[in-house]
Amino acid sequence: MSRSCSIHGIKRTKVSLVDGFSFVDTPSWDAFNESADLVAQVEHYHRRFGCYPESVHADKIYRTRENRCYCKDKGIRLSGRPLGRPQQVTASNKAQLEQARHQQRQDELDRIAIEGKFGQAKRRFTLDRVMAKLAETSEAVIMVSFIVMNLEKILSQVLLFIVDVCMLVWTSLRRIVWRTYSRMQWEQRLWPADDRIR
């Protein structure tokens, strides 16, 4: 998933989102057509993870013929409606068109995550208030914001793991205590205390 966003001082910042973690690909000061940058972002992904993504969820500006051909050659599904006129619904292709419509809807729902990540970065991590004057300093501030966001994601996963382990230990201890208590109750019924003393 990829998105470009305008941040104060920096014209465009390209960010990829993979499993909830943000990767800043290219902060840029220059005005340019974003659609030409899709190939570079996919190649960044390939270098980073060693494989091409299964799908790319991008804005309409990225859905050019060149980008569609590139994605098709690499076996990547580019989100969005296909070019050309919509197909007529017939009995033979009704299920296929319905499946394509559901896939387009799911792609749009998947894009919500990257949009939300930018909203989170601007609201909670001061990405909308970059006050640095130099290009290098501004880029450093942006990178630090995304590093902190990724660290928060890691820490929340660690905390969830610790809570899960604590709950597992707690339930195991409860079972042991309950079994011990039940055994003591059963022994008391079989052998009352006065019989054991004699």
Q: Are residues 103 and 189 in the same domain?
A: no
Using DSSP's 3-state secondary structure scheme, residue 33 falls into: coil
Q: Are residues 41 and 15 in the same domain?
A: yes
Q: Are residues 51 and 87 in the same domain?
A: yes
Could you tell me if residue 12 is inside a domain? yes
More confident residue, 74 or 79: 74
> What does the pLDDT read at residue 196?
53
Q: Are residues 86 and 178 in the same domain?
A: no
Could you tell me if residue 90 is inside a domain? yes
Give the contacts of 9 (CB within 8 A, at least 6 positions apart). 130, 132, 138
Angle between helices 65-74 and 38-49 in degrees, nearest 10: 20
Element (H, E) at 36: none
Hey, what amino acid is at 118? F
Q: Are residues 172 and 116 in the same domain?
A: no
Q: Are residues 39 and 91 in the same domain?
A: yes
Q: Rounded to 5 degrees, what are φ and ψ at 18?
A: -130, 115
Q: Are residues 98 and 183 in the same domain?
A: no
**25: its two tokens:** 């690909």
Write the pLDDT tens digit of every residue in 36-58. Answer: 888 888 888 898 889 898 888 88
Q: Are residues 15 and 65 in the same domain?
A: yes
Q: Are residues 105 and 185 in the same domain?
A: no
Residues 110-137 have a mean pLDDT of 84
Tally of structural domains, the chain: 2
Could you tell me if residue 161 is inside a domain? no
Could you tell me if residue 93 is inside a domain? yes
Give the Cα separation of 32 and 125 in Å (integer). Answer: 27
Q: Are residues 20 and 53 in the same domain?
A: yes
Q: Are residues 170 and 149 in the same domain?
A: no
- How many CB atoms sit inside 10 A of residue 167's CB? 10
Q: Are residues 173 and 139 in the same domain?
A: no
Give the Cα separation of 105 and 119 in Å (integer). Answer: 21
Domain CATH code at residue 103: 3.30.420.10
Q: Does the pLDDT of residue 174 top 80, yes or no?
A: yes
Could you tell me if residue 14 is inside a domain? yes
- How many CB atoms sit inside 10 A of residue 19's CB? 6
> What does the pLDDT read at residue 123?
87
Of 20-24, 68-72, 192-196, highest mean pLDDT: 68-72
Which structural domain, as residue segments, surrounds residue 139?
2-156
Could you tell me if residue 121 is inside a domain? yes
Residues pairing with 21 in the sheet? 18
- Chain mean position to CA 135: 28
**27: its two tokens:** 């902060």
